[in-house]
Chain A
Amino acid sequence: SQQGEEDPQALSIQEGENATMNCSYKTSINNLQWYRQNSGRGLVHLILIRSNEREKHSGRLRVTLDTSKKSSSLLITASRAADTASYFCAARKGYSTLTFGKGTMLLVSP
């Protein structure tokens, strides 16, 4: 079953604007991770938030986690054209493997 489900499926913004992507999952988790995938390339790990954390920052990235709602959000501030990519959330339960959602395609126009 799909653990992570991203929303929206696609997002188009201008450079300098903020981009927010949401992720919902179904069961209890140990942590939730966000990955980025540029066209035609592998995934790159962006940030991990544990189940006992509510918010985490890394550079222009801010991730929140609400375990009561089984949801997470990824905020990219001051977006750049280079942020154009697909973004995936991945839920991890115990020592099990990651389960990825379908992703959000982000387009940042100059």
Chain B
Amino acid sequence: EAGVAQSPRYKIIEKRQSVAFWCNPISGHATLYWYQQILGQGPKLLIQFQNNGVVDDSQLPKDRFSAERLKGVDSTLKIQPAKLEDSAVYLCASSRLRDGETQYFGPGTRLLVL
């Protein structure tokens, strides 16, 4: 089966600009996750969707970050306006059910904010 797809792979923007990332999970996976991974650290969950509903967005900086999964399939994560500290890899993952124990990760989008 095809894996989790993400685009773009790399993005360079200036601070205060906006940026959007796209994710297409594995077919049939109901749960989708967005993680932020800063260099030298482990992934930190930003938001979790179950189908098109939000399960957990407690660590999402809602003043500048937004995410949607309108049809319960693919998802977009947006940052507006970007700050220098948003430079990180943004990983998308999916799993079969909310309590799906294995998460399958995409290759990530590497963001550099100048």
Contact = CB atoms under 8 A, between A and B. Distances in A.
Nearest to A95: B99
Contacts of B42: 4, 88, 90, 100-103
Interface string B71-110: 0000000000000000000010100001101111111101
A43 B101 contact: no
Given A41-B108, A42-B4, A42-B108, A98 B103 contact: yes
Interface string B44-70: 110010000000100000000000000
B107 A98 contact: no
Say whether chain A's binding surface is mostly helix, strand, loop, or mixed.
strand
Nearest to B33: A97
Contact of A42 (B41, B45, B101, B106): B106
A48 interface: yes
Say whether chain B's binding surface is mostly helix, strand, loop, or mixed.
loop
Interface residues of A, number: 23
Given A101-B42, A103-B42, A43 B105 contact: yes
Contacts of A90: 42
B45 to A, nearest CB: 5
Given A97-B45, A100-B42, A100-B43, A42 B98 contact: no
Contacts of A72: none
A84 to B, nearest CB: 17
The residue in A35, A42, A92, A103 that gathers the most chain B C-beta atoms within 10 A of its C-beta is: A42
Nearest to B110: A40
Interface string A29-61: 001010100001111110010000000000000
Interface of A: 4, 31, 33, 35, 40-45, 48, 88, 90, 92, 95-103
Q: Which 9 A-B pairs have the closest CB atoms?
A: A100-B42, A42-B105, A43-B105, A45-B102, A42-B107, A100-B43, A95-B99, A97-B45, A102-B42
